[in-house]
Amino acid sequence: MTEIAHVALGSNLGERESHVAAALVALTRHAGVSNLLVSSLWETAPVGGPPDQGPYLNAAARFETPLCPRALLDLLLEIERCEGRERGEPDAPRTLDLDLLFYGAQVIREEGLTVPHPRLHERAFVLAPLREIAAAWIHPELDASVEALAERLEAGPGWAGAGVTRCEPPGARR
Catalytic residue numbers read: 85, 94, 97, 99
Across-strand partners of 114?
A: 109
Q: Nearest 5°: phi and psi at 166?
A: -75, 135
Strand ranges (DSSP E) for 77-117?
A: 97-103, 108-110, 113-115
Name the percent of the chain in helix, strand, coil, to the closest 5.
Answer: 30, 25, 40
Residue 160 makes CB contacts below 8 A (sequence gap 6+) with none
How far is the C-alpha of 155 from the C-alpha of 149, rounded, in Å? 10
* DSSP for 113-157, written as a single string: EEES-TTGGG-HHHHHHHHHHHTTPEETTTTEEHHHHHHHHHTSH
